[in-house]
C-alpha cells in the first residue's frame, strides 16, 4: 500500500520539475557471445533507455567535469549494465558506485570528450 503511494508521489515530483529535470539516455556497448551450436558470433544490442534525471550537483574542475544524478530506480533498475549516459548531447561515464534505494538512485558521472 505505502510502496505504491510513494512511487506515485515520486513520479509526481519528477513530472513537476519539468525543465529542471533533463532527459538522460543510458546505453551500453554491444555484447558478443559465441554460439557453439552454429559456430558463429552472436551480437546483442539492447535499446537505450531514456529517462528524466535530476542533476543534484555539478563540478567543473580543470581535470574533470562531474555531475551527481538522481533518478527513479524503477526506470533503470540495474545501472551497472550501462556504460554511457548522454545528457544534453554530452556523453558521461560512471565514476563511482551507484547509491540505490528501492525508490531512487544517486549516480556520479564524469563528462567524456567524444573521439
What string of DSSP letters covers 69-91?
EEEETTTSS-GGG--EEEETTEE
Q: What's the whole-number average pLDDT of the chain? A: 87
User: Using the 8-state DSSP alphabet, how is residue 33 labeled?
Assistant: E
Maximum Cα–Cα distance for the chain, whole Å?
52
pLDDT confidence bin for 33, thresholds 50/70/90: confident
Confidence of residue 7 (pLDDT cuts 50, 70, 90): confident
For 59-113, write each residue's pLDDT tens digit. 998 888 999 999 999 999 888 888 899 999 999 999 999 999 999 999 999 999 8
Q: How far is CA 1 from CA 4, 8, 53, 85, in A?
A: 6, 11, 26, 33
pLDDT at 43 over 90: no
Measure the CA–CA gap between 64 and 109, rounded to whole angstroms. Answer: 10
**Res 115 pLDDT > 60:** no
Amino acid at each position: 500500500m505505502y510502496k505504491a503511494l510513494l512511487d506515485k508521489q515520486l513520479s509526481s515530483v519528477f513530472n513537476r520539475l519539468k525543465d529542471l529535470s533533463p532527459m538522460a539516455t543510458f546505453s551500453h556497448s554491444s555484447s558478443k557471445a559465441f554460439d557453439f551450436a552454429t559456430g558463429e558470433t552472436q551480437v546483442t544490442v539492447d535499446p537505450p533507455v531514456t529517462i528524466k534525471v535530476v542533476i543534484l550537483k555539478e563540478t567543473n574542475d580543470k581535470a574533470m567535469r562531474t555531475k551527481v544524478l538522481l533518478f527513479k530506480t524503477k526506470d533503470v533498475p540495474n545501472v551497472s549494465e550501462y556504460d554511457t549516459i548522454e545528457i544534453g548531447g554530452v556523453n558521461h561515464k560512471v565514476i563511482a558506485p551507484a547509491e540505490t534505494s528501492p525508490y531512487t538512485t544517486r549516480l556520479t558521472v564524469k563528462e567524456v570528450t567524444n573521439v
